[in-house]
Amino acid sequence: MGYKVVVVGATGNVGREMLNILAEREFPIDEIAALASRKSLGTEISFGDKTLKTKDLDTFDFTGWDIALFAVGSTATKEYAPKAAATGCIVIDNSSLYRYDPDVPLVVPEVNADAVLGYHKKNIIANPNCSTAQMVVALKPLHDRARIKRVVVSTYQSVSGSGKAGIDTLWDETKAIYNPTDNYSSETYPKQIAFNVIPHIDVFMEDGSTKEEWKMVAETKKIIDPKIKVTATCVRVPVFVGHSEAINIEFEDFLDEDEARDILREAPGCMVIDKREDGGYVTPIECVGDYATFISRIRQDSTIDNGLNIWVVSDNLRKGAALNAVQIAEVLGQKVLKKG
């Protein structure tokens, strides 16, 4: 006996990836529904070796469905997630709407799987921000060993984090540069992204941080430990898929780089590729389509007493979004629903 699963926002990048991963991981499904807005009604989408036609989110009845994976923006989530949850369907939400709600667990299964048990307060579980998800997978096993005091992270985030518009913008701007007869302009980013980097993701806040940077701080504290101090600089780079992060960690206790490497090799969801030679590290293009969070460049930071530097790379459409949501569904199945 399997589950009745709904994917909301099935025509978007993350929604399609959710369907791919559900099929790849052979999630036990009796029935599946792909929902989209009315303008996408009837669009055909692949699910394993099957083809699904999208149904209208506006008129869909969630009664009797077990799990709804939401891959739409906060506005649509605010309208439809409570409706789904009220029918008894458990919502796993990829938007930022519920991440900071104390009654909604924020879950990365490798880090805090037991937090899913708090779903019953609102029948909703939140997926973290893509940049946070891969970072906490790497941080948690190190925190368990030596207690993290402070994290300084600089991100190199791909354009797919902005959805299809981001991917299209990088492609079109690049073509326009090579073919100057193309008269192209975009409103996706405040500055050109092709052959450039933009230290600005989401809106600016009063203290000079961007919302993306604030998310990394707040979510790391909620998922791992509220005592950890985090400062972030989030940068959009001209990469199609795959987020990278340079992370500096200060611990309460000394942690040798060799021991850190061994800990991360054994940690769930982590893949260490760290050779001190040309190409002995992972870049975004190599992580695309993979489930793992890749960790390279593990080394001592000699400027502080208990410091390490690491380089972390992951497919943001997978671990940063769709994969994490499916993993949450798997944990729900094992710990709560117990079908399949």
Is 39 within any annotated ligand binding site? Answer: yes
Is 99 within any annotated ligand binding site? Answer: yes
Is 236 within any annotated ligand binding site? Answer: yes
Residue among 171, 237, 172, 163 nearest 200 (CA): 237
Q: Where are the beta strands (DSSP E) in the chain?
A: 3-8, 29-36, 44-47, 50-53, 55-56, 67-70, 90-93, 124-126, 148-157, 229-236, 243-251, 270-272, 293-301, 307-314
**Is residue 243 annotated as a catalytic residue, yes or no?**
yes
Residue among 175, 178, 185, 6 nearest 88 (CA): 6
Is 316 within any annotated ligand binding site? Answer: yes
* CA angle, residues 27, 28, 31, in degrees to nearest 5: 110
Q: What are the tokens at 268?
A: 């769930």
Q: What is the DSSP letter of 119?
A: G
Among the options 89, 234, 243, 270, which is catalytic? Answer: 243
Is 25 within any annotated ligand binding site? Answer: no
Number of continuous H segments (helices) and E segments (strands) in the chain: 9, 14
Q: Are 236 and 200 in contact (CB under 8 A)?
A: yes
Is 157 within any annotated ligand binding site? Answer: yes
Is 40 within any annotated ligand binding site? Answer: yes
**Is residue 270 annotated as a catalytic residue, yes or no?**
no
Residue among 135, 101, 94 nearest 245 (CA): 135
Is 88 within any annotated ligand binding site? Answer: no
Among the options 89, 130, 234, 270, which is catalytic? Answer: 130
> Annotated binding residues, as ranges?
11-14, 39-40, 99, 157, 160-161, 236, 316
> Annotated binding residues for NADP(+), as ranges?
11-14, 39-40, 160-161, 316
Question: Which active-site residues does the annotation give?
Answer: 130, 243
> Annotated binding residues for substrate, as ranges?
157, 236
> Annotated binding residues for phosphate, as ranges?
99
